[in-house]
Amino acid sequence: MTYLLDTSALLCHYRNQNGTKQIQNIFEDDTADILITSITLTEFARRLHTLGANTHETSEIINAYRALFTNIIAIDEAIALAATTIYLDSPQRIPIVDSLIAGAAKVNNAILVHHDNHMSMIPPYLLAQHDLSQS
């Protein structure tokens, strides 16, 4: 199974919130391909800083999480176009960063794992999702 974790899923795991066990199960599944996008690294770092982590702590946390992923996906033209389709076909506004992360999941045939109300607005026919807030 291939999973792409949204920033909200990483924060959920880091902060040991509802859904952490499901994310931990994904991390412990030796058969799982676990992906994130390059912009997720930036978004996660910014949020860690907001939560009070200094530059050194943020770097250590990011590096520890990076080791858990099979691949870090760069945003390219195919992902940008998939993000456009997701954005246009969703009934409510989705922030551009979330659209790009969802587009990366779609292009990589991955299940998008998130804890984000914006992502839950994406119709299921566009993208397979695991919404941790529903767990």
The confidence score (pLDDT) of residue 133 equals: 85
In which domain, by residue range, is 111 found?
A: 2-134
- The first and second tokens of residue 59, run together, are 């770097």
Model confidence, pTM: 0.94
Kindly state the DSSP code that residue 71 receives in the 8-state scheme. Answer: E
> Could you read off the pLDDT of 42-66 as tens digits, one per residue?
999 999 999 999 999 999 999 999 9
List the CATH number of the domain containing 97.
3.40.50.1010
Residues in the chain: 135
Q: For 76-107, how does the pLDDT look when each residue is reduced to its tens digit (9 = 90+)?
A: 999 999 999 999 999 999 999 999 999 999 99
3-state secondary structure of 120: helix
The answer on pLDDT for 135 being more than 80 is no
Number of domain units in the chain: 1
